[in-house]
Amino acid sequence: MFKSLDHLIIAVEDLEKATHNYQLIMGSPPVWTGGHKSLGTSNALFNFQNTYLELLSPTGEGLGADLINHYLKDNGEGLIGMVFATNDINGVHQSLQNHGFAIAEPANGEGINFADQKLRRWKNLFLPPDLTRGIFSFIIEHTHGYLPQSEEKKESEPYKLDHVVINTNDADGFIGIYKDIFNLRLALDKNIEHWQKRMLFFRLNQTTIEVIEQEDDLPPNDKLWGLAWEVKNLEKARQRLEDADVEVSPIQKGVKEKTLVATIKSHTQNVPTLLIQHID
C-alpha cells in the first residue's frame, strides 16, 4: 500500500529559530524553505537518504495554521506528524473504504520554495481518527516537482532515519491497523522483560517504526515520541555538535547489538533525539 515513510513533521512556534537549531544538528541547511498559502503555514525541509523532516509553523490563516496552533497550545513544540507515500492514492482510498472506514476523497496540495519560486504539488488523503488514534497522519502522492537533494553528507552528519519511536497503550490494535490494513511488515513483536513492556518493529524503506506499549485503562491511543538518526562516525558527530554548542550525551553502547549511541539534549524543539552508529 505504501512505498515509503515519506516524512515526519515537527510543529514549531518560530520557524527561523527552529531551522537554525536543526541546521546545527544536521550539519547542513534545509533543501527547501517555503509555504502553503492556502493552509496558512510555512516550512523548512531537511532531506535524507530514506525520508525527509519537515519543520512546520503557523504563519497565516487556514486549516493548517489552525491545526498547528492547536498542537502548540496543548503540547508545545514537538513531533506531531507521520506521512506515508504511495504511487496510487486512489487505490489506497478504495482499499480503506473496502475495510469499512469513512474517508474523504483525496485533496490537492501545493507548496512553493521561497528561494527559487519552484512549486511542488501532491494529493493528500487524510486519515480518520479510528486509524490515526492520536497521531496526525496522512497519505501523500507527489504529482509535480521534486524535493532537491542535499549535498553529500559528511560522516559526522545524519544521513538516514534509523527509526521513529511511537508510544501506544494498545499494541494489538496497532498491529491490526499497521500490519493488517496498511500492510506494513511486522519484523518484531517481543516482550522486553527488564522494561516490562512490549515492543514492535515495523520495517519500511530502510527505516524502522519502533512501537513501545505501556498498557492502561484509557481508550486506544498512539503518540509519536522520538527520532533516531544514523551517522557514519558518532565520535566526529558528537564533536561537531559540541563545537556548535549543542548539548549531547557521552557515547555509549546501544541496546541493539553492535551499535553506539548518543542523545542530543538541546536544540531539538522538544523531540527526544538519538544519534546512532552501526558498527561492522
Contact 65, 59 (CB under 8 A): yes
pLDDT digits (tens, 9 = 90+) for 95-141: 999 999 999 999 999 999 999 999 999 999 999 999 999 999 999 99
Task: Give the predicted TM-score (pTM) of the model.
Answer: 0.96
The rounded mean pLDDT for the chain is 96
Q: What is the mean pLDDT of residues 5-10?
A: 98
Q: What is the mean pLDDT of residues 251-274?
A: 96
Domain ranges of the chain: 4-144, 160-278
At residue 255, the pLDDT reads 84
Same fold, 4-144 and 160-278: yes
Using the predicted structure, report yes or no on whether residue 194 has a pLDDT greater than 90. Answer: no
Using the predicted structure, report yes or no on whether residue 230 has a pLDDT greater than 90. Answer: yes
pLDDT digits (tens, 9 = 90+) for 32-79: 999 999 999 999 999 999 999 999 999 999 999 999 999 999 999 999
* Backbone angle region of 27, left / alpha / beta, with phi > 0 → left and psi within -120 to 50 → alpha: left
pLDDT digits (tens, 9 = 90+) for 148-185: 988 889 999 999 999 999 999 999 999 999 999 999 99
Determine the CATH number of domain 160-278: 3.10.180.10
The fold adopted by the segment(s) 4-144 is 2,3-Dihydroxybiphenyl 1,2-Dioxygenase; domain 1 (3.10.180)
Using the predicted structure, report yes or no on whether residue 280 has a pLDDT greater than 90. Answer: no
At residue 195, the pLDDT reads 78
At residue 105, the pLDDT reads 96
How many residues does the structure list for the chain? Answer: 280
d(C-alpha 213, C-alpha 221), whole Å = 10
At residue 196, the pLDDT reads 84
- % of the chain beyond a pLDDT of 70: 100
Nearest Cα to 180, choosing from 161, 202, 160?
A: 202
Using the predicted structure, report yes or no on whether residue 193 has a pLDDT greater than 90. Answer: no
d(C-alpha 242, C-alpha 237), whole Å = 9
At residue 192, the pLDDT reads 85
Per DSSP (E only), the strands in 66-106 are: 78-85
Using the predicted structure, report yes or no on whether residue 15 has a pLDDT greater than 90. Answer: yes
Q: What are the backbone angles phi and psi of residue 148, rounded to the nearest 5°?
A: -60, 145
